[in-house]
Structure 1
Amino acid sequence: MRFLAALFLCFLILACNEEVVIKPEAKLRLDYPQASYSTVQLDCPYSFKINTNATLNTAAGCNVDVEYPSMRATVYLTYQSVKNNNIDSLLYDAQKLTYDHTIKANSILEQPRVDSINNVYGMFYMIDGNAATQSQFYVTDSVNHFITGSVYFKAKPNFDSIYPAVVYLREDIRRIMETIKWK
């Protein structure tokens, strides 16, 4: 029995002499395909370009859902016509919808969109944190057309986990905003 105890003690002493190796911090790596865009022609008073990796589903009226199945995400586009000079209430509703997320958001960054050549004006909101949506926007011509858009994931909002997809989709939203044309 003493022999086994001495042998165990020798192994224990020899095992403690190894250097401790600190492993680098692991990071999630998600690679998405290079984006290419094609113009969507709808039976609506607007057109735009979407990522060819997305699928387009038309909803009621001229509302459109741009789905990204590999990311389990959807960009919801809602079209409203400006009637009876209600642009102020449409702008208020779009901004309120964004700032309702301040409870869970760490920050909300605004990026204005001004395209006087195509008569497209709007705002792009980048919402950082565990909010329900990470990006929202609106565009308008201030007279006839108004479109709002927002991104939602089919997952619990954990900003750290979905961040690569958020960055990818923000670029697609910018492309949608840049390519909207009124008919």
Structure 2
Amino acid sequence: MKNFLCLFLVIVFSVSCREDYVPKPKAYLRLDYPKANYVKSNINVPFTFETNLLATKLKMNNVNATTKSYGINIEYPSLKGTIFLTYKAVENNKENLVNFLRDAQNFTQKHNIKADAILENAFENTNKKTYGMFYQVEGNAASQAQFYVTDSINHFLTGSLYFYAKPNYDSILPAANYLQKDIKHIMETVEWK
């Protein structure tokens, strides 16, 4: 009986010492970004706003003096993303403003094909006379954020966030969250000239 017990214990210990291998799950890098430091923009357009110092390039393009429209790119090379701003003068024409609003909303809704959800947040600052909407786009859409602000009389500003990479929501989420805060700060600091 002693031999049987010893043999049983040897078998149990030899079987129990085997190591099962389990594949490791996919992981993403943890990305920490510096605290945002904002400065007032210094470009010749009919409005001012504050930008993050992490944005190393702020350039104008698509200037059209006839229609009083401007395109501004706020580039973040370290995050491989850009916030594209487009300004258009309303010119005291309510029909013109309605068309701008419809275009901005339709542009955001085009991302419904790839987006898991589009969250809307209304924006209003009566002291600065800015009113608008911020859209947070979730999922593998081309743009993770869209917005517009207006004074409802003379000025209309719209913007969108794009990354220089194939949309993979999980991997760009930290950068998207960081830049969405910058977009909200732009909306909060817009002042019309």
SS at 2:17 equivalent: coil
SS in 2 for 1:34: coil
> Which residue of structure 2 aligns with residue 67 of structure 1?
75
- Taking every aligned residue pair, what percent have the same amino acid on both sides? 48
Task: Give, in angstroms, the shift of residue 89 of structure 1.
Answer: 0.6
Match of 1:139 among 120, 129, 149: 149
1:51 aligned partner: 52
- Partner letter of residue 100 of structure 1? K
Q: Deviations over 1:30-50 (max 9, x none)?
A: 111211000013211100000
Choose 25-34 or 171-180, whichever is displaced more.
25-34
Structure 2 CA distance for aligned equivalents of residues 52 and 118 of structure 1: 23
1:32-181 alignment runs, 5 A limit: 32-54=33-55, 55-61=57-63, 62-83=70-91, 84-85=93-94, 86-181=96-191
Question: 2:7 maps to which residue?
Answer: none
Aligned length: 171
Q: Which moved more, 1:24-33 or 1:74-83?
A: 24-33
Q: CA deviation at 1:60?
A: 2.2
Cα shift readout 1:85-140 (whole Å, capped 9, x = no counterpart): 21111000000000011000000000111000000000000000001100000000
Secondary structure in structure 2 of the residue aligned to 1:59? strand
Q: Judge conservation of contact 2:97–2:152 (CA < 8 Å) in 1.
A: yes
Indicate the SS of the match to 2:105: helix
For structure 1, which runs of at least 5 residues remain unmatched after alignment?
1-12
Superposition deviation, residue 16 in structure 1: 7.0
Letter in 2 for 1:57: K
Give the corresponding residue for 1:17: 17
Counterpart for residue 10 of structure 1: none
Tell me which stretches of 4 or more aligned residues in structure 1 moved more than 2 Å.
13-16, 18-28
What is the CA–CA distance in structure 1 between the aligned matches of 2:171 and 2:28, rounded to whole Å? 10
What RMSD in Å do the two structures reach over aligned CA positions?
Answer: 1.9
- Whichever residue aligns with residue 18 of structure 2, its letter is E
Alpha-carbon distance between aligned partners in 1 of 2:188 and 2:177, rounded to the nearest angstrom: 17
Matched, 1:30 2:31: yes
Partner of 2:51: helix, strand, or coil? strand
